Structure 1
């Protein structure tokens, strides 16, 4: 058996080129830095002499903008692009010598993460262009759902037909859900009928809410398994491990070995912390170490299916490179999303997080871990074996004939128990790290601080494709959770500006600090959303008038920032329409996700309880889907997010109308208040979908009447505050 010690020639497997615009980016950074320093000097010499509360607010906003701009610069210093050659890997290493691969897929709620979508994800990786006797797929079901297990029992039978079908037809898209929803998939009637039958049985079980004791059970063995669920709850149940397929015993209809397929639901106890997804992943690390112990581990979100069967080979082009292998912790693929509407109104691509910034930091120690599509060297997660494992060396994959042995299963149940981690270093220095809702960011950051490196692999064909939230409230709630998790790292002893810079490097520390302080965007965006329009209403100048030399500094800083962002977006294969929506959703997130996330974090930090972790729903209603496909924003629920958005929209619209009316009547007002008018007008244009939802639309996605009313009342309150700030 082969481990990662295989040594092909490094030059044959991959190449690296530095972005040709890197020198221009550095020149721009220098010029823009001088502009920011000039602006801060202007604040100190003009608006702070004598200082006032309003000038201090404006100074704070620009100071935070300058701080965040400084943190993001290392992403632009040495952006690189890589290319790998999987065919050369096979020629050099040979298929029989490829290292074993364990795949981890986590799910937590069958009603928000439909079992059939999870099944399709698992089947897509089971169909990797990879030796099936060296491939194991683990399903972690943190919901403890009998329906999810039933779905995978059905999937195990379907896999006997699906995997040969993929090989015979040379499919690239090997998720049955994605394949059969495409025009190509419609031509495979027999296979589609089998899939549809499986889907109907699983969805029927999901609607009933149970499996045992009804006509869905096919065999006495299944009935015996599901009897275990009696008395189970999602938060209180023993560990469950079921080997659904075993490579040494199970074959497909062509007689070829099937991959191992193992279902796991770790022990849950309401009195024991479970650490959310990080805890589930650490349990998978331990259980897989007992059962298969592959040297390469792939973590995958339950809705992120394989779109390129050669993805493991691409990752191994780096993991098997002897010049990199000694300290290469993981290879990160970007997240791509299907089903986004034409102009991506909710910014679901998240290009900066998943594609642009990873290329930038790949020029240093490598990209951060983003929770999915990531191939790990097991040594980075678990440097020492869980002895005693077996008679085999710990660095070798387990004997495939031993998965059903009582001794193996007993040991696997032990390491999946609630108490196993007590008194150990799991979650602190071993495995996926605890202490933050964003366990992926925290884990990648800590690995980089420990001397490990990573690599960004972004092939022309997306290797993995998933679902972005198509519900605006869910999309904003997801980012709010990220902000809370980032802030948890920022205030810990592992702060990237101290611990990160000291233990990794200055550029890497700054890059991780950019995300750690992501929630800080709420400060300047909230101030600029309300202060300039209120000043415009009461005709109090905050910015230089036209023809003042300082006026051109503001113009330069605004245009340079937006043009640079547009160029980066277009070079990452974006469109102008998508860029416009991306910058709009950035402002929306600043007023909602970042603001509420920062407030919730602060409340939690002082001991005030707030709602905890929520799984983002992958289910979307038909009417909601139709509105989304038409590019219509959905404000159909009474969310606090929409109250603050409605308030900002009303304040800026009324102030802009008042300002334009005054400028038309009074000479000199336009020149004096031009920047105020421009900012309010710019926000008004970005808020057009909000006005439409508040006053024009009649469909289910319109702004609820009570939200509109509250927004108007809060806007009036802001004007009252403005009266006392600007007049009295």
Structure 2
């Protein structure tokens, strides 16, 4: 294509209201200056106790001023991306790359298989050529109940995918769709029959879960159940790998004769004497296994407690990856994750609106948002440790069809070693390749490591949310989640991956500073505790800490 005829696949626009925000920030800075002046000019000369209390108050205020500065850095110049999927279809319709989608689950009790089924079905029904979609479920619980649910999902997908296409279903999760949609005036019989099929499938799955074992007549229906004859426990078992739908097989079609996406079940090997590295280990195993089966150049990872809410999300992300001028430098595209279970008053602020609607847009303008662990499209090469080079260029014609030629049974056997406990020994997996091990927030540190290798990232928040998940709705759930995040971010700041040091001369200074508010989130507790406690005690003792009116 000639340079003069280049038309971008996406547009970058400045967020409105920047001037107003900067005026407000300037007024806050002026107020900070007055606070500092007051503390210095009216320093108490009385008792020693008063002086130390005054100093403590001043240090706490200085900390919050510093923290305000760090947050303002990430909000100063926000942008948003506007993809044009019509241009993508016109230019690359026959060269669209394969997409490997990873879904991770760990416990059939905490994460019910019926919920996992909805997640898998929602991503299988993307508005994308099904022969170029490959869905991988990582079951870290090693449960035959989850495996059975996947068999049900594979069978129901033959009806669900053409139904989604016919009725333009949004969202493509059966549970979410039938919960809110009403039957159409035309072809109501077909609509009701599919709803009945889904409800029957759901009842079978839940009845099996309640029974807590797979009935014998079901076990005989698929060879994969024999794998559980050798499973000692969910923490001690061999690799279980089953290709439930082989998208390359001409017989893998839906009820209308259209091809189905590839669907793979994986329970990686676990042994008590080997650390499994939680979700990071699961993701790395999926990266290796998928490279052998489908090897899609783009990887999407989602959690099992969320579902695809926008069937065009794949094409939105490809508009950024496949842009001829700016796409080759992008390592990952992070989508906004919203939630469909928020309480009316949202008393625990679980939606993170400021982060998702303001700060991530700001990060996008200074090098790219952090990797949030879910709802993220990755370039496989970047996720596998490749450093960005200025002359790097992708030939999408060559990478559009890279699936293996071997039979499904052969791939099942040969890929098991890739998910074994010992495969990563004496390799760079978990250090330079895949997700980084050793941190509670493996997603954040992985995104930082990728950016420090020269790649950029981008943030997408389309009008219709790309994904909807489940947010904590109780105080205990919120505290547990926040504690994990705060501990993990502080762990990053105190490690060799501290953005200020590790990112030196690798990423822009603004981006290094923008990581710090999250890394220092836990440190806020000290200044907050002082601000809450000491003024109250001083009020009881008659000690003045603030200007008199």
TM above 0.5, one fold? yes
Partner of 1:404: 408
Closer, same or farther in 2 for the Cα pair 1:312/1:48, shift >3 Å? farther
Are 1:208 and 2:211 matched, yes or no? yes
Q: State the shift of 1:326 in Å.
A: 2.3
Partner of 1:375: 377
Is 1:18–1:80's contact at 8 Å kept on the other side of the alignment? yes
Closer, same or farther in 2 for the Cα pair 1:154/1:123, shift >3 Å? same
Q: State the shift of 1:93 in Å.
A: 1.3
Superposition pairs of residues 144-183 of structure 1, within 5 angstroms: 144-183=142-181
Is 2:343–2:473's contact at 8 Å kept on the other side of the alignment? no
Is 1:8–1:93's contact at 8 Å kept on the other side of the alignment? no
Partner of 2:248: 248
Partner of 2:96: 98
Partner of 1:232: 232
Closer, same or farther in 2 for the Cα pair 1:339/1:504, shift >3 Å? same
| 3-state secondary structure, aligned to 2:271 | coil
Q: State the shift of 1:221 in Å.
A: 4.4
Q: State the shift of 1:56 in Å.
A: 3.2
Closer, same or farther in 2 for the Cα pair 1:43/1:382, shift >3 Å? same
Is 1:10–1:321's contact at 8 Å kept on the other side of the alignment? no
Is 1:26–1:76's contact at 8 Å kept on the other side of the alignment? no
Is 2:321–2:330's contact at 8 Å kept on the other side of the alignment? yes
State the TM-score, normalized to the length of structure 1: 0.69
Superposition pairs of residues 590-601 of structure 1, within 5 angstroms: none
Partner of 1:600: none
Deviates more, 1:414-423 or 1:494-503: 494-503
Cα distance in 1 for partners of 2:42, 2:119 equals 59
Partner of 1:338: 340
Cα distance in 2 for partners of 1:470, 1:440 equals 23
| 3-state secondary structure, aligned to 2:525 | helix
Partner of 1:218: 218
Q: State the shift of 1:61 in Å.
A: 1.7
Partner of 2:76: 77
Deviation readout 1:570-615 (Å, 9 max, x if unpaired): xxxxxxxxxxxxxxxxxxxxxxxxxxxxxxxxxxxxxxxxxxxxxx
Q: State the shift of 1:241 in Å.
A: 0.6
Closer, same or farther in 2 for the Cα pair 1:223/1:322, shift >3 Å? closer
Is 2:489–2:518's contact at 8 Å kept on the other side of the alignment? yes
Is 1:126–1:259's contact at 8 Å kept on the other side of the alignment? yes
Q: 1:19 aligns with which of 15, 19, 24?
A: 15
| 3-state secondary structure, aligned to 1:137 | strand
Deviation readout 1:389-441 (Å, 9 max, x if unpaired): xxxx99564435535142x3333111101111111111111111122111111
Is 2:364–2:458's contact at 8 Å kept on the other side of the alignment? yes
Closer, same or farther in 2 for the Cα pair 1:221/1:16, shift >3 Å? same
Structure with more helix by fraction: 1
Cα distance in 1 for partners of 2:81, 2:288 equals 33
Partner of 1:351: 353
Is 1:448–1:504's contact at 8 Å kept on the other side of the alignment? yes
Superposition pairs of residues 674-689 of structure 1, within 5 angstroms: none
Deviation readout 1:6-49 (Å, 9 max, x if unpaired): x9976342111112433443444344334324423433443465
Cα distance in 1 for partners of 2:360, 2:429 equals 27
Is 1:100–1:296's contact at 8 Å kept on the other side of the alignment? yes
Cα distance in 2 for partners of 1:126, 1:60 equals 54
Q: 1:29 aligns with which of 15, 20, 25?
A: 25
Deviates more, 1:231-240 or 1:528-537: 528-537
Deviation readout 1:140-162 (Å, 9 max, x if unpaired): 11111111111001110011111
Q: 1:267 aligns with which of 261, 266, 269?
A: 269
Deviation readout 1:43-96 (Å, 9 max, x if unpaired): 3443465664422332232122122112112222210122111122101211x3
How many corresponding residue pairs? Answer: 528
Partner of 2:486: 483
Deviation readout 1:302-333 (Å, 9 max, x if unpaired): 12211111110000110001212222001111
Cα distance in 1 for partners of 2:169, 2:364 equals 31
Partner of 2:391: none
| 3-state secondary structure, aligned to 1:343 | coil
Q: State the shift of 1:109 in Å.
A: 1.0
Cα distance in 2 for partners of 1:319, 1:262 equals 25
Q: 1:108 aligns with which of 106, 109, 114?
A: 106
Q: State the shift of 1:170 in Å.
A: 1.2
Cα distance in 1 for partners of 2:44, 2:303 equals 50
User: Please, which runs of 5 or more residues in structure 1 have no aligned partner?
Assistant: 385-392, 547-728
Deviation readout 1:548-571 (Å, 9 max, x if unpaired): xxxxxxxxxxxxxxxxxxxxxxxx
Closer, same or farther in 2 for the Cα pair 1:20/1:161, shift >3 Å? closer
| 3-state secondary structure, aligned to 2:218 | coil
| 3-state secondary structure, aligned to 1:299 | strand
Superposition pairs of residues 626-637 of structure 1, within 5 angstroms: none
Cα distance in 2 for partners of 1:8, 1:369 equals 35
Partner of 1:649: none
Deviation readout 1:262-289 (Å, 9 max, x if unpaired): 0011111121111111111111111101
Are 1:500 and 2:503 matched, yes or no? yes
Q: 1:416 aligns with which of 414, 419, 434?
A: 419
Deviation readout 1:467-491 (Å, 9 max, x if unpaired): 1112221122111101111011100
Closer, same or farther in 2 for the Cα pair 1:276/1:41, shift >3 Å? farther
Structure ID, larger Rg: 1
Is 1:501–1:510's contact at 8 Å kept on the other side of the alignment? no
Q: 1:439 aligns with which of 438, 442, 453?
A: 442
Q: State the shift of 1:223 in Å.
A: 6.1
User: Please, which runs of 5 or more residues in structure 2 have no aligned partner?
Assistant: 387-396
